[in-house]
């Protein structure tokens, strides 16, 4: 039985570009490197590419390289023989062999330890896996897709990622833009998720007022589509059949003006090579907030995203 894939939603030109490239290479056996912030849809796109390939009736498996302790990565990936190491109580085929004929997504591939990177490169070059503790290799026909939220070239420069493996994986790079760079998709995504969760829970759909909508469109979405989807699920359940105003949105979505300022500061503030004294920075910002609010501590606390008590505590600490 094939499980229907969740539909991929998005009409913005930025996202349509991504889909166009994905469609072009989906059916080929080429290695694809999906990059983008967390929650931008890398795994969903990988699934869709598998579903559109001639491997569709074979398994699609994903291995999160960040979720495993270093000593288990190799056996998870390449398999191991019983007794190969303490804890290897039975033969284990490994994800590559289990996905034979199908597709394996190496998620967070930037986290792969260097030793496993070398083995992976060997597999990509010759199509053979060498289970841990087994003398002879085995041929496997698996298509590798890789995903990362890191800048892999930078990882290469830092000596944490093999350059040869990077080029081997990066045959076709597909970059998923963050949601804040394709805000045109926000309305269709909201409509889609509201409908989906309403149906899933058997509830009448919820919707947003124009004002709430405007906030959602202006928000920075650090968690991207995953964050939007979770918000929609919460609203779909708690406010079924109702129209939800901006007051109901989480605090970080309410004051977009102040938040974007914080975001701008964070982006502009590159840590200098020589480092900084964080306390000095904090002291300066608290001072500025107090000046701005004419010494009103409650207002200053609000400007800094602190509770009044926390502000008072820090003012005492810095003798302000
Ligand atoms: N374009 C999209 N249309 C519909 N749902 C999406 C889209 N992109 C992502 N999602 C959903 O958002 C969540 C996060 O996507 P995921 O593929 O896991 O992101 P990533 O792997 O980049 O962290 C998933 O529930 C996924 O189904
Ligand atoms: Mg993911």
Q: Atom 8 of ligand 1 has which residue's CA nearest to it?
A: 41
**Pick the residue with more confidence: 132 or 166?**
166
CA 303 – CA 293 distance, rounded (Å): 9
Domain interval for residue 129: 13-177
pTM of the model: 0.80
Q: What is the pLDDT of residues 198-239, one digit of tens each?
A: 999 999 989 999 999 999 999 999 999 999 999 999 999 999
Instruction: Give the span between the Cα atoms of 207 and 193, in whole angstroms.
Output: 11
**Distance between CA atoms of 58 and 245, rounded to whole angstroms?**
46
Residue 257 has a pLDDT of 52
Give the distance (Å) from ligand 1 centre to CA of residue 213.
Answer: 20
Residues 116 and 213 in one domain: no
Among protein residues, the one with the nearest Cα to ligand 1's atom 27 is 44
**Do residue 36 and residue 164 come from a single domain?**
yes
The reply to whether 268 falls in a domain is: no
* 37: pLDDT strictly greater than 70: yes
Other CB atoms within 10 A of residue 61 CB: 16
Q: Are residues 189 and 128 in the same domain?
A: no
40 CA → ligand 1 middle, Å: 6
Summarised one tens digit per residue, pLDDT across range 154-203 is 999 999 999 999 999 999 999 999 999 999 999 999 999 999 999 999 99
Residue 259 lies in a domain: no
Distance, CA of 124 to CA of 142 (rounded, Å): 9
Dihedral of CA 162/120/55/35: which sign?
Answer: negative
Query: Between β-strands 128-129 and 138-139, what pairing exists: parallel, antiparallel or unpaired?
Result: antiparallel
Answer whether 43 contacts ligand 1 (Cβ < 6 A): yes
Looking at the structure, tell me whether residues 113 and 249 fall in a common domain: no
CB atoms within 10 A of CB 223: 17
pLDDT of residue 275: 80
Please check whether residues 203 and 223 belong to one and the same domain.
yes
pLDDT of residue 136: 87
């Amino acid at each position: 039985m094939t499980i229907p894939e969740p539909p991929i939603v998005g009409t913005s030109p930025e996202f349509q570009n991504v889909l166009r490239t994905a469609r072009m290479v989906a059916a080929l056996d080429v290695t694809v490197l999906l990059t983008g912030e967390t929650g931008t849809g890398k795994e969903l796109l990988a699934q869709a590419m598998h579903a559109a390939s001639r491997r569709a009736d074979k398994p699609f498996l994903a291995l999160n390289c960040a979720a495993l302790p270093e000593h288990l990565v190799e056996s998870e990936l390449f398999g191991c023989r019983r007794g190969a190491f303490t804890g290897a109580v039975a033969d284990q085929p490994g994800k590559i062999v289990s996905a034979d004929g199908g597709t394996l997504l190496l998620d967070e591939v930037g986290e792969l330890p260097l030793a496993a990177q070398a083995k992976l490169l060997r597999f990509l070059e010759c199509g053979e896996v060498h289970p841990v503790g087994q003398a002879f290799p085995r041929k496997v026909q698996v298509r590798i897709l890789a995903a990362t939220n890191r800048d892999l070239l930078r990882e290469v420069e830092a000596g944490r990622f093999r350059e040869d493996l990077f080029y081997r994986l990066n045959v076709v790079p597909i970059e998923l833009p963050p949601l804040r760079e394709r805000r045109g998709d926000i309305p269709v995504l909201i409509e889609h998720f509201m409908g989906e969760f309403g149906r899933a829970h058997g509830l009448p759909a919820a919707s947003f007022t124009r004002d709430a909508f405007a906030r959602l469109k202006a928000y920075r979405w650090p968690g991207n589509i995953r964050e939007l989807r979770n918000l929609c699920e919460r609203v779909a359940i708690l406010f079924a059949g109702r129209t939800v105003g901006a007051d109901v949105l989480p605090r970080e979505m309410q004051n977009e003006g102040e938040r974007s300022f914080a975001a701008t500061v964070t982006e502009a503030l590159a840590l200098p090579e020589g480092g900084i004294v964080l306390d000095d920075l904090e002291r300066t910002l608290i001072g500025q907030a107090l000046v701005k609010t004419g010494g009103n501590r409650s207002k200053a606390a609000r400007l800094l995203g602190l509770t009044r008590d926390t502000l008072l505590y820090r003012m005492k600490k810095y003798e302000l």
